[in-house]
Structure 1
Amino acid sequence: MTDTLSPVDPLLTTAAVPVTTPVTAVVVTRGRTGYLTTTLRALASQTRRPMRV
């Protein structure tokens, strides 16, 4: 599926000022699952910390 996407040339993608776009993720769970623990650990280990969890 990804082989149909054309690559973006980083030299053609420019901006005068770096842009930071906020991203919101909603994790829906029912009860306690192994996925919730794994997801929260992955959030905590990111290089850039989330603004809030």
Structure 2
Amino acid sequence: MHFRLFVGARIYHTIAYLIPLPQPNRALAFFVGYGVTFSMAYRLLKSRLYL
């Protein structure tokens, strides 16, 4: 699920960059990818530290 969200955010970010969409679209796509990255890191650290 994380990887699909991240890829979707990156594709949308690229489309928003190539087709000049209003700025909040590109920033939201960036922060969705950023949030997914932190979510993956949190889940990894949580599973490794609490075993």
Same topology, TM > 0.5: no
TM-score where L is the length of structure 1: 0.29
Bigger Rg over Cα: 1
Q: Which has the higher contact order (CA 8 A, sep 6+)?
A: 2
Comparing both structures, which one devotes a greater share of its residues to helix? Answer: 2
TM-score where L is the length of structure 2: 0.30
